[in-house]
Amino acid sequence: AQKVTQAQTEISVVEKEDVTLDCVYETRDTTYYLFWYKQPPSGELVFLIRRNSFDEQNEISGRYSWNFQKSTSSFNFTITASQVVDSAVYFCALSERGKLIFGQGTELSVKP
Q: Binding string to another protein for residues 73 to 92, with x set by CB under 8 A, is what?
A: ------------------x-
The interface region with another protein, picked from 16-24, 68-76, 77-85, 94-102 by CB under 8 A, is 94-102
Up-side HSE of residue 22: CA atoms within 13 Å toward CB?
10
Residue 29 interacts with another protein (CB under 8 A): yes or no: yes
Query: Among the candidate windows 16-24, 38-46, 58-66, 69-77, which touches another protein by CB under 8 A?
Result: 38-46
Restricted to residues 46-65, the positions that interact with another protein (CB under 8 A) are 46-47, 50
* Residue 74: Cβ-neighbour burial (10 angstroms; 0-12, 13-18, 19+): middle
Nearest to 81 by CA among 2, 12, 15, 3: 15
Report the distance separating Cα 103 and Cα 61, nearest Å: 22
Question: Mapping DSSP to helix (H, G, I), strand (E, B) and coil, where does residue 80 land?
Answer: coil
Binder of another protein out of 76, 105, 108, 110 (CB under 8 A): 105
Residues that bind another protein (CB under 8 A): 4, 9, 29-33, 35, 37, 42-47, 50, 91, 95-100, 102-105
